[in-house]
Chains A and B, each alone.
Chain A
Amino acid sequence: MVWRKPGLAVFAIIFGGGAMAEIAGEEKKSGSGFMSRETQAMQADDTSNPGMFSVLDGERLWREPVGPAMKSCASCHGDAEVSMRGAAARHPAFDETSGKAIDLAGRIKLCRRDKQTAEPFPRGSEELLALTTYVGTQSRGMPVAPPVDERLTPSRENGKRLFEARIGQLDLSCASCHDDNWDKRLGGSPITQAHPTGYPIYRLEWQSVGSLQRRMRNCMVGVRAEPYEFGSQEFIDLEAYLNTRASGLAVETPGVRP
């Protein structure tokens, strides 16, 4: 049945054999390690990394007083270089109020809505991306450190289940590519181990900065699956699991990808 789809021959060649296996310690490698020298150089230099424009926008928003009390992020958190150092490395974290895992962008959304009582920024908006990139880059160079918190276990387990479940018309799981074939290429692109260490990233194909969720939606559309909604619990659970896989790798926000 499956053979009617012409694109599938490619998958059959690439994915012949191969047992499901998580990536062992020494083989663990950040996505940037798979990139071309040119892309790596673009990411490494802050005057050639276009993601830095998002960082600069985020810095401006950080200091902008808004809402009825005219509070800025800085009014409560002060200097982001101090207060936000490590924040990205420990998200997704457990949110007491909702009793669920929350990602960094979700946390920023909540502060904007509840602490500043200002117009919330939608997921995918330039403003939320800018603040997330700005807060994210304060952890640059720090190891991803998933919180030791039992309450995150259900989220991580669900993320793992979603990662390993076959989806879409092509009937592939995230693991089919990112665990079993991470050292191969797909249509010229390195597949990589799906570590979320550089997000939000500047992606040349998008000509802009984009979120981890946008990246994951691209992968889902690629296997012709219905992508989860932006901000959905599925994506947060997937990220919570991805972070345990990436534990110890350095945060690189803003990453650059082709």
Chain B
Amino acid sequence: MTARALINAPKTARKGDIIEIRAMIAHKMETGYRQGPNGQMIPRDIINRFVCTYGGAEIFSADLFPAVSANPFIAFSTVATESGTITFAWTGDDGQTQTATAEIAVN
């Protein structure tokens, strides 16, 4: 499934450069601790796992918990090694994974 996500990654970099990557996904991150207007608990529904791969290899991952805000924003850095695809994958409590990609040209 294609994510509703905003990605900020450089389109070009020099080999060996340290690059910053930022990714934000639209998600309500329902904690499971809130009550709806009818007094019923609203079931938990969060993104619990984020994985980023670069040229097929995992370069960053994170587990997310109910205390993370809506629309989780994750920033990290890596070293530009080769031209290729950076893939972002967010997995929710429902087991569904949403993905987004960014291309980078390294010279």
Contact = CB atoms under 8 A, between A and B. Distances in A.
28 contacts: A45-B8, A46-B6, A47-B6, A47-B8, A47-B22, A47-B24, A48-B6, A48-B8, A48-B22, A48-B24, A48-B73, A50-B24, A50-B26, A50-B70, A50-B71, A50-B73, A52-B6, A53-B4, A53-B26, A56-B4, A204-B69, A207-B28, A207-B29, A207-B69, A207-B70, A207-B71, A208-B28, A208-B70
Interface of B: 4, 6-8, 22, 24, 26, 28-29, 69-71, 73
A256 to B, nearest CB: 11
Given A47-B6, A50-B24, A207-B69, 16 more contacts: A47-B22, A47-B24, A48-B6, A48-B24, A50-B26, A50-B70, A50-B73, A52-B6, A53-B4, A53-B6, A53-B26, A53-B71, A56-B4, A207-B29, A207-B71, A208-B70
Interface in A162-220: 204, 207-208
A50 B71 CA distance: 7
Interface residues of A, number: 11
The 7 residue pairs across chains A and B that have the minimum distance between CB atoms: A47-B8, A207-B70, A50-B71, A53-B26, A47-B6, A48-B73, A47-B22
Overall SS of chain A's interface? loop
A224 B63 CA distance: 41
A93 B106 CA distance: 52
Contacts of A56: 4
Nearest to B30: A207
A113 B1 CA distance: 33
A47 B74 CA distance: 11
Contacts of A48: 6, 8, 22, 24, 73
B46 to A, nearest CB: 12
A144 B32 CA distance: 41
A47 B7 contact: yes
B77 to A, nearest CB: 15
Contacts of B4: 53, 56
A224 to B, nearest CB: 22
Contacts of A47: 6-8, 22, 24
Contacts of B28: 207-208
A47 B71 CA distance: 12
A70 B22 CA distance: 39
Nearest to B7: A47
Contacts of A45: 8
Contacts of B69: 204, 207
Nearest to A208: B70
Interface string A30-58: 00000000000000011110101100100
Contacts of A204: 69
Nearest to B29: A207
